[in-house]
Amino acid sequence: MRKNQTIPMEILQNLQFNLQPQSFALSVGEALNKLFAMPLMEISWGLRDGENFPVYCYQKLDGQGSSSLFDRQTKNSLAKELIDDEAAFVIEDFTEENDEMIEVRKAYLMGAEQLIVLPLFDRLGVNGFLNLYLSDKTEAAYWETLFSQLCPLASASLTFSKKLNKTATASRRAWSELRDLQNENSIRGAKPFIRESSAMNELWTQVCILAPRLSEFWIIGTPGSGRELCARHIHARSGSVSKRLEVFDCASIPIDIHYSEIFGEDNSGLWYKLNGGSLYIKNIELLDPKVNAKIIEKIKTDIRLNTEAKNIIISSQSENLNNPLKKHFENAAITFPNFNDRRDDWLWLLRELVAEIANNIGVAILEITPSFTQYIMQQNWSDDFSEIREFLTKSLISSRGRTLKVPSLNEGENQSKAGRPPANLDSSVQQQIIKALRKCKGKVYGSDGAASLLGLHASTLQGKMRKFNLIAGDFKK
């Protein structure tokens, strides 16, 4: 990229005087596309059919000009694809109401290396901002030059200069925040933590404060709420990111081998192999009491060898934990809000959950339609994740295609409550459960069990098995 190149006047004029938001962004994109001969992407958002529902318009400026509607997550993953393709940048126009932190998060989710916020202006002043999400191939210095060239040309109106100062500060803040967020990228196996809702944002703040300071953590939340992901982020932020995190799920490992697995006879257990890493003990309610006693002894000893576990993270479903470990961990109790208090996360979580469940049951899904997203957003789901997961599993099974649909719309309309798909789905669900049980030879629990294969919580699967009169033992052979 040419660092000191000046921007031709006609391009700056384009930037300055095209005022219709849609055509504005397009002409900016086209102009820059011509100038740098790079693939670009323009994304904007608005209302669909007058409904208050965010829809993104995606446009790849490849000379053809194509456009279609996607939800926010799809748009972000498309943007990411483009960046992975070594495209230089992605442009998004947005209104001044947008919060720069949301923009920074988007940049992060797209995998961009830098974010520059440019003001858009007309003769009256700023009418919006334009984000440049830059891949690491792009030279920031060049863009800073571009930025400084654009600004002096702006209207001298007071409104503009005030806004501009605000933007410059926002941009600086955004940069450093982005760098922080990108540290998350170095976490092996940890996906970005969705926290658009204020309840989850609070939880995240707690994680950021506690993780570097303590060694014992207690995560409280219902199955599927994100406890394991949270444990991975604690691990990453505790200064142990280059070390291992080992997950020990008490629900899938027989109680009689808990002690030997964790501590072993001659210090041969997991505990002594972590080299300063983290041990995450999931479903602590089911842990062998002998292990509790040994962990307490270890915590009290205070000195741990470099070869031993540095962080111990436990999780339980509720804070009413009848376990002696409780009092040693309650200083760092992190409680997940219930599903309904995370409504602002739903749009983002949906894609994660669909991808995870689709992967578990071996279904390929490429597109979640806006109508599906809208349907999900409008329902009253139960406070834990069981109902939404069950619904998504059924939807994935019944969609049988690349587009995820609400199962049988007509019957869906008669549904009295969300998550209660029509009865004709039962037989296909039953078939899937039978298949999974056969494949896992009747094993329900554990990473190689049928529940995990189906993307269901084990207790949900057991409920289904009772309903369909299926007995695990019948599938052993």
Q: What backbone phi and psi angles, to 5 degrees, belong to 162?
A: -60, -45
Nearer Cβ to ligand ATP (111/223): 223
Q: Which is nearer to ligand ATP, 200 or 236 (CB)?
A: 200
Q: 294: closest CA among 309, 277, 276, 316?
A: 309
* DSSP 3-state of 373: helix
Among 228, 384, 387, 390, binds ligand ATP (CB under 6 A): 228
Is residue 193 involved in binding ligand ATP (CB under 6 A)? yes
**What is the helix (H) or strand (E) element at residue 218, kind and residue range?**
strand 216-220
Question: 333-352: which residues touch ligand ATP (CB under 6 A)?
Answer: 349, 352
Q: 51: Cβ–Cβ under 8 A, 6 or more apart, which residues?
A: 374
User: How buried is residue 424: exposed, middle or buried, by Cβ count under 10 Å (0-12/13-18/19+)?
Assistant: exposed
Sole binder of ligand ATP in the list 29, 111, 125, 226 (CB under 6 A): 226
Q: Which of 191, 298, 420, 435 binds ligand ATP (CB under 6 A)?
A: 191
Taking the complex as a whole, how short is the minimal distance between the CB of residue 190 and ligand ATP, in angstroms? 9
Amino acid, single-letter form, for residue 382: S
Q: Determine which helix (DSSP H) or strand (DSSP E) holds 280, and give its type and residue range.
A: strand 278-282
In the chain the first and final C-alpha atoms are separated, in Å, by: 64
Give whichever of 39 and 419 is closer to ligand ATP, judged by the CB atom: 419
Shortest Å, Cβ 445 to ligand ATP: 11
Minimum separation from the CB atom of position 338 to ligand ATP (A): 12
Q: Least separation, in Å, of the C-beta of 166 and ligand ATP?
A: 30
350-409: which residues touch ligand ATP (CB under 6 A)?
352-353, 356
Q: How far is the CB of 275 from ligand ATP (least distance, A)?
A: 24
Q: With respect to ligand ATP, which residue has the nearer C-beta, 75 or 282? A: 282
Q: Of the two residues 200 and 241, which places its CB atom closer to ligand ATP in the complex?
A: 200
CA–CA separation, 197 and 244 (whole Å): 30
Closest approach, Cβ 369 to ligand ATP, in A, equals 21
Q: How many residues form the binding site for ligand ATP (CB under 6 A)?
A: 18
Q: Does 449 bind ligand ATP (CB under 6 A)?
A: no
Token duo for residue 255: 């109680």
Instruction: Give 15 or 234: the residue with its C-beta nearer to ligand ATP.
Output: 234
CA-based radius of gyration for the chain: 26
Q: What DSSP state is assigned to residue 193?
A: P
Nearest to ligand ATP of 422, 446 (CB atom)? 446
What is the per-residue binding string for ligand ATP in 299-338, x denoting contact by CB under 6 A? ----------------------------------------
> Does 235 participate in binding ligand ATP (rule CB under 6 A)?
no
Residue 194 interacting with ligand ATP (CB under 6 A): yes
Among 29, 221, 276, 277, binds ligand ATP (CB under 6 A): 221
| Closer by beta carbon to ligand ATP, 264 or else 337 | 337
Of 91 and 392, which has the nearer Cβ to ligand ATP?
A: 392
Q: How far apart are CA 236 and CA 425, in angstroms?
A: 42
Strand, helix or coil at 56?
A: strand
Nearest by Cα to 115 from 125, 128, 126, 130: 130
Return d(Cα 257, Cα 266) in angstroms, integer: 15
Token pair 């792009």 is found at: 138
Round to whole Å and give the CA distance between 227 and 465. 26
CA-wise closest residue to 252 among 215, 207, 212, 282: 282
Tally of CA atoms within 13 A in the half-sphere of 476 that contains its CB: 4
DSSP classification of residue 455: T
8 Å CB contact between 231 and 281: no
In the set 118, 132, 229, 334, which binds ligand ATP (CB under 6 A)?
229
Q: Report the sign of the C-alpha dihedral through residues 133, 75, 25, 195, in that order.
A: negative
Window of 28-36, 154-162, 219-227, 358-366 that interacts with ligand ATP by CB under 6 A: 219-227
Nearer to ligand ATP, 118 or 392 (CB): 392
Residues 452-471, mask of contacts with ligand ATP (x by CB under 6 A) = -----x--------------
Q: Which residue number is nearest to ligand ATP in terms of Cβ?
A: 226
One-letter amino acid of 371: S
| Shortest spacing between CB 187 and ligand ATP, in angstroms | 12
Residue type, 240: S
Site for ligand ATP in 253-292 (CB under 6 A): 282
Residues present in the chain in total:
477
Residue whose entry in the numeric block shows the structure tokens 């002696």: 324
Nearer to ligand ATP, 354 or 429 (CB): 354
Taking CB under 6 A as the criterion, the residue among 119, 125, 224, 276 binding ligand ATP is 224
Shortest reach from residue 317's CB to ligand ATP, in Å: 9
d(CA 58, CA 371) in angstroms, rounded, equals 17
Let me know: does 42 contact 91? Beta carbons within 8 Å.
yes
| Residue number with CB closer to ligand ATP (143 or 348) | 348
Question: What are the residues binding ligand ATP (CB under 6 A)?
Answer: 191, 193-194, 200, 221, 223-229, 282, 349, 352-353, 356, 457
